[in-house]
Amino acid sequence: MKFYLLVLSLMSMTLSLSAQSSEENKSTPTERVQVPEILTKIGLLQGIEVDGHLITFKGVRSDGRCPKKITCVWAGEAEILIEINDGTETVAKHIVIPAMGTHSEILSTSTHTVYLKNLRPYPVNAGEDIEDYQLVLKIVTKNA
């Protein structure tokens, strides 16, 4: 009886696996998957190019965010400077980022939109001097 069950289970597995490689599946065209959004980080004085526009993180003007190990009345904010160069002109932008982050649109092209999400790292101790700042950007592909 065990032998018949073993043979029956092997036959059913063989048939189910052969269905996966049928001619119908082989003739189905493959499609490219669109990536809806990308999160990326850029360091201080670094840049990223999006559709011919160069976004450069120029600096942190002030970082008044409340450190994690301190109790504050106000969460604070950080002010940064970015430059956007489209190949012909450069525009400098001062942006204020709340302590909890933001979702500010900083660039929109025909195919992508770039949002500013946050400034990292978040201060931990009071008076901490942070040198390795990074901007977190979200790049979203527009539907055509």
pLDDT in tens, the chain (144 residues): 777 777 777 777 776 666 555 566 566 666 666 667 788 889 888 999 988 999 999 999 988 888 888 888 888 899 999 999 998 999 999 999 998 888 889 999 988 899 999 998 888 877 777 778 999 999 998 875
Q: Which CATH architecture has domain 32-141?
A: Sandwich (2.60)
N-terminal to C-terminal alpha carbon distance within the chain: 61
| The pLDDT value given to residue 89 | 93
* 14: its two tokens: 């063989």
| The pLDDT value given to residue 91 | 93
Neighbours of 116 (CB within 10 A): 23
Cα–chain-centroid distance for residue 43?
Answer: 14
**Residue 12 parent element (H or E):** helix 2-20
pTM: 0.68
Cα–chain-centroid distance for residue 20?
Answer: 35
| The pLDDT value given to residue 17 | 65
Q: Which of 111, 49, 133 is nearest to 86 (CA)?
A: 49
Residue in the block written with tokens 């939109």: 113
| The pLDDT value given to residue 135 | 92
Neighbours of 93 (CB within 10 A): 15
Beta strands in 12-75 (DSSP E): 37-43, 47-50, 53-63
Beta strands in 67-133 (DSSP E): 77-85, 90-98, 104-108, 112-120
| The pLDDT value given to residue 56 | 93
| The pLDDT value given to residue 24 | 60
* 139: its two tokens: 């790049």
Q: Where are the domains of the chain?
A: 32-141
